[in-house]
Structure 1
Amino acid sequence: MRSLRRTALLWMTGLITGVGLTGAVIAYALALREANGFMDGQLRQIALNAGPSLRAQDGPGIHDDPEDDFVVQIWDATGMSLHAVPPGVDIPRVNGSGLTTLNALGARWRVFASGDGIRSIQVAQRMEVRQEIAESTALQAAAPILITIPIGWLVVGWAMGRVLADLRRLATEVESLPVESREPIDLARVPVEAAPLVVAMNRLIERLRATLTQQRKFLSDAAHELRTPLTALNLQIVNIANPARSIAPEDIVDLRNGARRAAALVDQLLRLARYDATADIQASIPLDLRTIVLAAVADHVALAESRSVDLGVTSSDTVPLVGDPRDLQILFGNLVDNAVKYTPAGGTVDVAITIGPESGCEVSISDTGPGIDPALLARVFDRFFRAAPAGVEGTGLGLAIGKAIAERHGLKLSITNRTDRSGLRVKVFPRGDSSAAARTVK
């Protein structure tokens, strides 16, 4: 795989080297020009100050600016002027020796004075000359940078275009992938720095593919499950509509039961679709889980009595919870309904609501039914899976819906076979994570 970092470093190294060399060449040319001008001026000044009567005519290429000239003054021990260049420029004599700055003739001067007791010499220069040299030097130093900046912009833009070409190619490849594609993005030509992103995209594609596969299977299973009750309804309607036979009361009962089963299946399918669409709780309010569970038990007392099943509550602690009461009613209603339906006549279903300092709240529903083959326990939450004995109605969606509701409320739903006797024990308790702790008041 090609490394964007390495490619960018190579391009930027070449760019910086090229810009640096260009700036160095420009700076050298400007500095040489400035040095030649300065040294030419020095030669001129030396020539002009070689003697009191020498004033040579400037040759070609020599810039004559009187303000740039040095003022050279020489006195003897009595103070008589022995030499003054240029004539007529009288800078006040400085006492002592060394460098100093003074104001004279409407300008500031930098003066160097020296003497040996016989003669005194004083050399002065306008400060404006030095300022002009400083400004010129600064401009010449900045010129290479100012010249190379726009060049650098162009080269950087071109270099980054070359560096990012692989990313554009990758984007084009991803955009051209068909929706039904099952192949991951090839990492062979992906830049090293983009590899983690592409790996994450491949994983996302795999999850989406798994989700789509699950949805297709769900739709196929739903169509299959709906076909049976709808076919039965159609046959019952045909029988009722047959003028050759009379309508018996049981025909109406069968038709009503078939319609009820179909409506219940459609309702469960719609509920699962809603849970799949969003993980948010629609109506989250503070409530008492004890009230929800006791209501579910009360709703199934008549069913339990009709099946000669002893349905009761062994303990009922108050459990504050934040959640959707309607969803929780569906959850515990399904669990109690399953326990009653799968328990044979003469059996018992015990419901316990407890809360402890360590484990938090727990709702357990224990029955004395036949239990479930241990090899099938791992599949009880699969959609449309039924491990129920023959003769017990069901769609295979109740536990899948219950698990979805529990997870939305930060709860965990577990089903195990009882160890003390035949039957199942269903437990609902908080998951050991922050979401459960936030929703359940311990």
Structure 2
Amino acid sequence: MKVPVTLRGRLFALLAGLGAVTAVAVAGATYVSVRAEADELFDYQLRQTALSLRDQGRIAGDEAAALADPSFDYVVQIWSLQGLELYSSRPQGMTEPLPARAVLGFSNLHLGGQDWRVFSAATPLRVVQVAQPLAVRQRLAAVAALRSIVPVAVALPLVAAAIWWLIGVSIAPLARVVRAAQAGDANAMNALPTEGLPGEVAPLVEAFNGLLGRLSTAFEAQRSFVADAAHELRTPLTALKLQLGLLRDAPPGPEQDAAIARLRGGIDRAVHLVEQLLALARAEPGAAAASQTLDLAEIARQAVADVQPLADKAGVALQLSAPRPLPLEGDLQALRSAVRNLVDNAVKYGAHAVQVEVLREASGAAVLRVDDDGPGIPPALRERAFDRFQRGDGHDAPGSGLGLAIVQAAARQQGARVSLDTAPAGGLRAEIRWPAPGREAATG
């Protein structure tokens, strides 16, 4: 099983790697710099020793003893101008003296199988040479350089530990978010904490909280819908059960025929309610919608044709104005259901005439408008008319109270807006408006 890389581990690896590279670079630069400074210091000591001996008339006994100490790394030799050796502190292992002919100032010599750094100074009577093995100089310089980088080596693990702790402190708010998400059950829709989150993560958590809020609203709407549907279905199912009992007990003849007619009517109402519930479920936000190019005028003609028998039976004049095709993108079943519900409601609640109109405005917006001359809906109650199972007061027309809810849900699913207004004839105007191409629809 592959272990996922944590954000803390990833940041620590990156920062630790960067710190290690930086420490190596700093240590290397320090090492080179200290060695160079040590070489300069050793050259300075060579020069000062030579100059101090040049200015002396003779070498005192104690000074000569110090120069002859085997542990003394320097070799001091004094020559006369005629090439005679006046003094030599030649250490053990040195097989031959420094050359009598010297280059004044600094020079490098290969003598006795090893390299030497030499400084020579002259006076009118003598030449003073002070030399030091390059190997000794390099060893001392390396030791000094290594000592200079010891603090860097000691500080590196301490800095790594501090980085690990600081990263942990920085991502602690993320850990709180994780614990809050893990603590919730399947029905928990509480917002996750956003206090102290980094600016790069806070928008993600806030967007997730927004999603949780929308899901909570949708779940609450679904629970309410299920409760309302169960309540609405209970009544017709109970009525069907009673009518079935009456049919069983009715003797053959007109009484039984009436019971059968009542049972058939109850079944039709139950079927209609179930169809309305399914149509509303298909039009709910988040339901799969097969978008395709449709002709709104043709959909309106089909809806008018479906409702025409009901209009003829009720004595309602049903007219359609759709002079030309009006193409738009949408879901065929949802739009058919929405348009038919609008026309069906207008016929049921309209007094004498219903006018259906399909047009495209100069702005490019597509509009489906249904006007009737019925009693309409008071402005104060129009917003509530879109609620599920909401029926108009004072009307005995059969219905489930889902028509306008289906229309509004289908309109939102198609990116359109539905509105209610007063028709020119004094009844109700129901209108679905699709925005012009390239414009965003307002929420209806």
Check whether TM > 0.5: yes
- Asked if residue 322 in structure 1 is aligned to residue 329 in structure 2, the reply is yes
Contact 1:343 1:368 in 2 (8 A): yes
Give distance in 1, aligned partners of 2:274 and 2:99.
112
* Residue identity in the other structure for 2:403: G
Letter in 2 for 1:363: L
Give the corresponding residue for 2:311: 304
The structural deviation recorded for 1:225 is: 0.8
1:413 paired residue among 408, 414, 418: 418
Residues 179, 323 of structure 1: alpha-carbon distance in 2 compared, 3 angstrom cutoff: closer
Alignment partner, residue 333 of structure 1: 340
| 2:395 counterpart letter in structure 1 | A
Kindly state the Cα deviation for residue 384 of structure 1 after the two structures are TM-superposed: 1.2
Corresponding pairs, count: 384
Q: 1:291 aligns with which of 298, 303, 311?
A: 298
Q: Give the Cα–Cα distance (whole angstroms) in 2 for the partners of residues 350 and 112 of structure 1.
A: 117
C-alpha displacement of 1:377? 0.7
Deviation at 1:371, TM superposition (A): 1.0
How many angstroms apart in 2 are the aligned matches of 1:255 and 1:137? Answer: 108
Deviations 1:59-80 (A, max 9, x none): xxx6x7xxxx334444433444
Q: Which amino acid aligns with 1:220?
A: A
Where does residue 246 of structure 2 map in the other structure? 239
Counterpart pick for 1:230 among 233, 237, 254:
237
* Cα distance change of structure 1 residues 295 and 185 upon mapping to structure 2, 3 Å threshold: closer
Q: What is the Cα deviation at residue 148 of structure 1? A: 3.3
In angstroms, what is the RMSD of aligned CA positions?
4.3
What residue in structure 2 maps to residue 219 of structure 1? 226
Which residue among 252, 275, 278 is the counterpart of 1:267? 275
Q: Give the letter for the 1:408 counterpart.
A: Q
Shift of 1:177: 6.0
Partner Cα distance (2:130, 2:273) in 1:
112
Distance 1:424 1:404 in 2: 19
Is the contact made by 1:383 and 1:397 (CA closer than 8 Å) also made in structure 2? yes
Q: Deviations for 1:216-260, whole angstroms, at most 9, x for unmatched residues?
A: 332222122111211121111111111545464443333222212
Letter paired with 2:433: F
For 1:383 and 1:104, how far apart are their aligned partners in 2?
109
Residue 304 of structure 1 deviates from its aligned partner by: 2.5
The equivalent of 1:115 in structure 2 is 122
Q: CA deviation at 1:192?
A: 8.0
For 2:17, the equivalent position in structure 1 comes to none
Partner of 2:433: 429
Range with bigger deviation, 317-326 or 203-212: 203-212
**Aligned equivalents of 2:111, 2:233: Cα separation in 1:** 112
Question: Which amino acid letter does the alignment assign opposite residue 221 of structure 2?
Answer: Q
SS in 1 for 2:398: coil
**TM-score with structure 2 setting the length:** 0.70
Question: What residue in structure 1 maps to residue 382 of structure 2?
Answer: 377
Cα pair distance change 1:134/1:290, threshold 3 Å: farther
- Contact 1:376–1:387 under 8 Å retained in 2: no
Secondary structure of 1:363's counterpart equals: strand
SS of the residue 1:300 aligns to: helix
CA distance change for structure 1 residues 316 and 144 in 2, over 3 Å: closer, same or farther?
farther
Are 2:353 and 1:348 aligned?
yes
| Aligned equivalents of 1:84, 1:433: Cα separation in 2 | 105
SS at match of 1:349: strand
Which digits, 9 at most, give the CA deviation of each residue in 1:271-329, with x for residues without a partner? 43444472552x12233333323322232233323323222232444333222212221
Q: Is the Cα contact below 8 Å between 2:297 and 2:326 reproduced in 1?
A: yes
**Structure 1 unaligned regions, length at least 5:** 1-26, 438-442
Taking only the aligned residue pairs, the percentage that are identical comes to 37
Letter in 2 for 1:366: D
Out of 315, 320, 339, the residue aligned to residue 313 of structure 1 is 320
**8 Å Cα contact 2:310/2:347 also seen in 1:** yes
* Residues in 2 aligned to 1:106 and 1:367: alpha-carbon distance in whole angstroms: 120
Residue in structure 2 matching 1:136, options 143, 149, 163: 143
Check whether the contact 1:300–1:336 (CA below 8 A) recurs between aligned residues: yes
Alpha-carbon separation, structure 1, partners of 2:316 and 2:157:
89
Counterpart of 2:408 in structure 1 is: 403
Distance 1:225 1:430, change over 3 A: same
Q: What's the offset of the Cα at 1:165? A: 6.8
Could you tell me whether the CA contact under 8 Å between 1:342 and 1:388 is conserved in 2?
no
Map 1:85-124 → 2, pairs under 5 A: 85-86=89-90, 87=94, 88-90=96-98, 95=103, 97-100=104-107, 109-124=116-131
CA distance in 2, matches of 1:144, 1:199: 46
**Structure 1 residues 275, 79: closer, same or farther in 2, change over 3 A?**
farther
> How far is the alpha carbon of 1:211 from its aligned partner?
4.4
Separation in 2 of the partners of 1:102 and 1:285? 95
Q: Please tell me whether the aligned partners of residues 363 and 428 of structure 1 are also in contact (alpha carbons under 8 angstroms).
A: yes
Partner of 1:362, secondary structure, is strand
Contact kept? 2:75, 2:130, Cα under 8 Å: yes
TM-score (norm 1): 0.70
- 1:15-34 equivalence runs, <5 A: none
State the distance in 1 between where 2:99 and 2:258 align: 136
Specify the alignment match of 1:360 in structure 2.
365
CA deviation after TM superposition for structure 1 residue 120, in Å: 3.4
Q: Secondary structure of 1:370's match?
A: coil
Is 1:70 equivalent to 2:77 in the alignment? no
SS at match of 2:375: coil
C-alpha distance in 2 between matches for 1:200 and 1:392: 46
Change (3 A) 1:284 1:174: closer
